[in-house]
């Protein structure tokens, strides 16, 4: 990295909810946030979403993977090309499979292709080195959450909750000197978030999501299924821990016998109950839970979270952050850290034995 001080990075995220590509700029030196920049969103078409969905659970070389990668690369190139004044790009790709104690982790999309198309250095493949060293490879946003806690001036522990396709929590103590410092962070995947409800809506009603949680709000929660769900082995594992989008498919099929509204209500309650179960692992109580990701727009989900957590739960906009773009901003921030040789994960976030910097850098030409 030639340029000293804060630089402009452009981050992109395509999450497990398969809605589209978020892109956002951020100026940072890789430690503190100096400034937030413009953002953009490029939705996937139904046909593109179907191609990506066909690649879920598959690994490099398997059927459907290359087609999914091409869709991901094309969509990213289209939205990232809209930006100017960019020094560096952070490209996460689309997670198709995540099996940290098995075959590893697989994000579709080649950063070298984007580097050539955009004419910019691209940091990508953020998770592989963490997994190779014994970490979970996820979640990776916690180091950015620590920077956000500093940026909003937090003075006591708080939590960031991302409700995308899969839910994940970051417990942050902003009084610590840095994200890798002992006691600064604890992060882990909580359980399913929007993905099962999105899948239900797609299969049964041909819709991409339960808009605003309207269907869930009209249904009745099957509390017996919620209690049964929380008895699954995952919830007895100590964090850090991570999940694949499809890890609970066998159990989720039990909701198939329910009517549409009751199934949506029960899956929404399961997502919130998973978070409440995860909060039992917090090292110290938090003053608030700040919600990012699409789930914060779901009134039924937010009501379930408030009821089951019994802690103030608010969207991140309440503290001046952008919940639609926080993950894209995170990969802009992490790209700068990779380029400057700073760690991007540590034992308390992914379970990796020591703080490690992930990612590789591809340059045009």
Q: Rounded CA gap, 271 and 169, in Å?
A: 12
Q: Which helix (H) or strand (E) covers residue 13, if one does?
A: strand 7-14
Q: What is the CA radius of gyration of the chain?
A: 19
Model confidence, pTM: 0.92
Q: Write the CA distances from 24 to 43, 44, 73, 86, integer angstroms.
A: 15, 17, 17, 11
Check whether residue 216 and residue 305 sit in a common domain: yes
Q: How many domains does the chain have?
A: 2
Looking up residue 206, the CATH number of its domain turns out to be: 3.30.420.40
The answer to whether 314 and 185 have CB atoms below 8 angstroms apart is: no
What DSSP state is assigned to residue 3?
Answer: S
Q: What is the pLDDT of residues 354-365, one digit of tens each?
A: 999 989 999 998
Check whether residue 78 and residue 132 sit in a common domain: yes
Check whether residue 132 and residue 183 sit in a common domain: no
Q: Which two tokens stand for residue 310?
A: 């019994």
Check whether residue 178 and residue 287 sit in a common domain: yes
Check whether residue 174 and residue 110 sit in a common domain: no
The answer to the question of residue 214 being in a domain is yes
Q: Is 1 a residue whose pLDDT tops 70?
A: no
Check whether residue 16 and residue 102 sit in a common domain: yes
**pLDDT at position 150:** 98
Over residues 313-332, mean pLDDT: 97
Q: What is the pLDDT of residues 105-153, one digit of tens each?
A: 999 999 999 999 999 999 999 999 999 999 989 889 999 999 999 999 9
Check whether residue 15 and residue 84 sit in a common domain: yes
Q: What is the pLDDT of residues 298-322, one digit of tens each?
A: 999 999 999 999 999 999 999 999 9
Show the domain range for 49: 7-139+325-362
Q: What percent of the chain has pLDDT over 70?
A: 99
Check whether residue 347 and residue 278 sit in a common domain: no
Confidence of residue 208 (pLDDT cuts 50, 70, 90): confident
Q: Is 3 a residue whose pLDDT tops 80?
A: no
Check whether residue 171 and residue 278 sit in a common domain: yes
**pLDDT at position 2:** 55
Q: Rounded CA gap, 113 and 102, in Å?
A: 28
Q: What's the sign of the alpha-carbon dihedral 254, 258, 260, 263?
A: negative
């Amino acid at each position: 990295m030639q340029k000293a001080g804060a630089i402009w990075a452009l981050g992109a995220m395509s999450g497990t909810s398969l809605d589209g590509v978020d892109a956002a700029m951020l100026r940072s030196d890789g430690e503190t946030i100096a400034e937030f920049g413009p953002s953009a969103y490029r939705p996937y078409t139904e046909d593109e979403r179907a191609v990506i969905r066909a690649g879920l659970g598959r690994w490099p070389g398997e059927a459907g993977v290359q087609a999914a990668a091409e869709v991901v690369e094309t969509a990213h190139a289209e939205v990232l090309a809209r930006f100017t004044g960019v020094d560096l790009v952070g490209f996460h790709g689309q997670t198709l499979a995540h099996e940290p104690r098995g075959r590893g982790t697989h994000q579709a999309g080649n950063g070298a292709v984007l580097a050539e198309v955009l004419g910019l250095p691209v940091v990508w493949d953020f998770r592989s080195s963490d997994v190779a060293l014994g970490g979970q490879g996820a979640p990776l946003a916690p180091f950015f959450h620590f920077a956000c806690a500093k940026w909003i001036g937090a003075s006591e522990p708080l939590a960031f909750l991302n409700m995308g396709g899969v839910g994940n929590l970051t417990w942050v103590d902003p009084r610590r000197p840095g994200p890798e410092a002992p006691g600064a962070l604890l992060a882990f995947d909580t359980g399913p978030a929007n993905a099962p409800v999105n899948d239900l809506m797609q299969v049964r009603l041909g819709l991409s999501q339960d808009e605003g949680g309207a269907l869930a709000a009209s249904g009745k929660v099957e509390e017996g299924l919620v209690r049964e769900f929380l008895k699954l082995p995952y919830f007895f594992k100590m964090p850090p821990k991570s999940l694949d989008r499809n890890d609970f498919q066998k159990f989720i099929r039990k909701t198939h016998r329910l009517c549409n509204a009751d199934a949506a209500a029960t899956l929404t309650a399961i997502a919130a109950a998973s978070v409440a179960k995860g909060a039992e692992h917090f090292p110290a109580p938090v003053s608030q839970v700040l919600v990012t990701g699409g789930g914060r727009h779901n009134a039924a989900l937010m009501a379930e979270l408030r009821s089951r957590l019994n802690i103030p739960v608010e969207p991140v906009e309440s503290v001046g952050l952008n919940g639609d773009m926080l993950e894209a901003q995170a990969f802009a921030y992490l790209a700068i850290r990779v380029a400057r040789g700073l760690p991007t994960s540590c034992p308390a976030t992914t379970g990796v034995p020591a703080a490690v910097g992930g990612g590789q850098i591809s340059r045009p030409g």
